[in-house]
Structure 1
């Protein structure tokens, strides 16, 4: 009886394992079929029209901007003019133009650092006499500029104009997002910035994050008007990042890469463009804790680039958190990078 029970348990365990294996195979079949039928390209875009923050929430002035891409799609953005902080006396605003701030507001307008005074009570925002430059913020793949403003508003307090724009299908921009469409939108954003009389064309910089890093890489490679490029938490190839995430599901590398090649279209890959940014300076930032755009992808992009270039690997900070939270004094590093790029053009 004991031997019979043991045999029965083994058979039951084998049936269960066999059922699990067939379930996994079934999932793989569905993934592969889905890749061939609809592809994975659409999974790179998660647009939203929900409003999260407005520039006024950070004490910032802005201009609502509507501009048009080369294929006629109407796009929306915010132009945030460079801002300084001036002291405010008890009797009213001071005439002293001395800059007393510049380290930026909190990424969350409701937060306040321990022991810090309320900037709104101690100081007032005023136009900077001359912007250090103009930064075009190419944001990531989710939400819209009302969410991503928290990731670049600090540059305004550092004395830079910032232009945030939404790709087609995001926020108040028309259309539907596609890879080619986002590239067109990036070119249109640059054209708009260059058309402004208050922008120094010799000091126009790109700041690309996540998906926006891929878009910024292509646009900067094609447009020498962009004088320096910062890429944060981005990736080297659409197929490469898809394969790494698929590998979590299928466990093996080769089927993940095969599925990615089948389901993700080619074209406008950052690796194919990054070498054309030189001789303009490039700064690539990655975090060892990034579980979305893995640090190795940023390293691959950096290694494919030509000099002058810098790579910063941060040990702390999840996806898109390192710059927003100023991990490793990253904000100061970016400001210094843009300043050096501007000085090299003077």
Structure 2
């Protein structure tokens, strides 16, 4: 009887552990396969581009050519944890009108990319997308921009490639350094998951997070953007990124605007001009 009871107890806690682990993972990824817009209805229309990961998983994305010729640089955009490129491209689509190519890929499991998202394969797809875009036009400067989940993915990918490819500018918008910390913060906001906060450190790994690696990106121009009113990723997470980063770096603090309003509210419109000015300065070097 004791053996059976011990087995039942072990099975119960194992099931609970796995359930919590799945829950933490679900806090990170909300992929969608919905085509929110049709490529042919956009002006300019994007070219569909793709590459394969080592396991033959296909990653697909869009390449928008600048409306102004010649293009000044390529901006590679890593989007957040919800929806897909069919929705997120809008955030930086305005750069296409300003002389910049815009490239956006979907992570595994998002949009038309195969597989399921994990911390490791999102970083792998980001690393390969940087390589892919760099090879398309080697002479054209590369800007890497990551928003929300895309921020930590972009940071880690740039770090992985630090001895191979150096972008002209790395922009990290409304992001975080640790999957464990952000999962714990999200869990603390729900009655149902509040008591499980400590387990975030057990069931969710920071193996593919950024940690303190921003200090290794010497010489790369870095801009950290975060709103004090961000309702998804608290402002102190942005401060932590800036404090961990090596120079040259700038911290652009927004006093207004929610998580997805980097460039859409009145203060965000001013931020557009500031980003264009920063790009001009960086590309003149």
TM-aligned CA deviation for residue 326 of structure 1: 5.9
Q: Is the 8 A contact 1:235 1:294 kept in 2?
A: no
Correspondent of 1:278 among 191, 199, 218: 218
- Does the alignment pair 1:129 with 2:85? no
**The 10-residue stretch of structure 1 (331-340 or 307-316) with the greater mean CA deviation from structure 2:** 331-340
Q: Is the 8 A contact 2:147 2:175 kept in 1?
A: yes
Correspondent of 1:216 among 143, 154, 159: 154
Aligned to 1:330: 271
State the secondary structure of the residue aligned to 1:285: strand
TM-score after normalising by structure 1: 0.72
Aligned to 1:321: 261
Call closer, same or farther: CA 1:80–1:292 in 2, change over 3 Å. Answer: same
State the secondary structure of the residue aligned to 1:248: coil
State the secondary structure of the residue aligned to 2:59: strand
- Does the alignment pair 1:302 with 2:233? no
Report 1:146-165 matches (<5 A): 146-165=86-105
TM-score after normalising by structure 2: 0.86
The C-alpha deviation readout for 1:137-191, integer Å capped at 9, x for no partner, is 0011111100001111011111111111101111111111111000110111112
Q: C-alpha distance in 1, partners of 2:203/2:168?
A: 35
TM-aligned CA deviation for residue 56 of structure 1: 4.6
Q: Is the 8 A contact 1:132 1:159 kept in 2?
A: yes
Q: C-alpha distance in 2, partners of 1:326/1:183?
A: 33
The C-alpha deviation readout for 1:51-84, integer Å capped at 9, x for no partner, is 112455442132111211233211111100111x
Q: C-alpha distance in 1, partners of 2:78/2:257?
A: 20
- Does the alignment pair 1:200 with 2:184? no
TM-aligned CA deviation for residue 209 of structure 1: 0.4
Q: C-alpha distance in 1, partners of 2:75/2:58?
A: 21
Aligned to 2:182: 241
Over the residues paired in the alignment, what is the CA RMSD in angstroms?
Answer: 2.5
Call closer, same or farther: CA 1:326–1:136 in 2, change over 3 Å. Answer: farther
Provide the aligned length of Structure 1 versus Structure 2.
269
TM-aligned CA deviation for residue 271 of structure 1: 2.4
State the secondary structure of the residue aligned to 2:262: helix
State the secondary structure of the residue aligned to 1:321: coil
State the secondary structure of the residue aligned to 1:191: helix
TM-aligned CA deviation for residue 129 of structure 1: 2.1
- Does the alignment pair 1:180 with 2:140? no
Q: C-alpha distance in 2, partners of 1:37/1:182?
A: 18
Q: C-alpha distance in 2, partners of 1:244/1:38?
A: 16
Aligned to 1:46: 30
Report 1:58-137 matches (<5 A): 58-83=42-67, 128-137=68-77
Q: C-alpha distance in 2, partners of 1:37/1:296?
A: 25
TM-aligned CA deviation for residue 256 of structure 1: 6.1
**The 10-residue stretch of structure 1 (135-144 or 40-49) with the greater mean CA deviation from structure 2:** 40-49
Q: Is the 8 A contact 1:150 1:324 kept in 2?
A: no
Gapped runs of 5+ residues in structure 2?
1-12
Q: C-alpha distance in 2, partners of 1:330/1:261?
A: 36
Q: C-alpha distance in 2, partners of 1:339/1:273?
A: 27
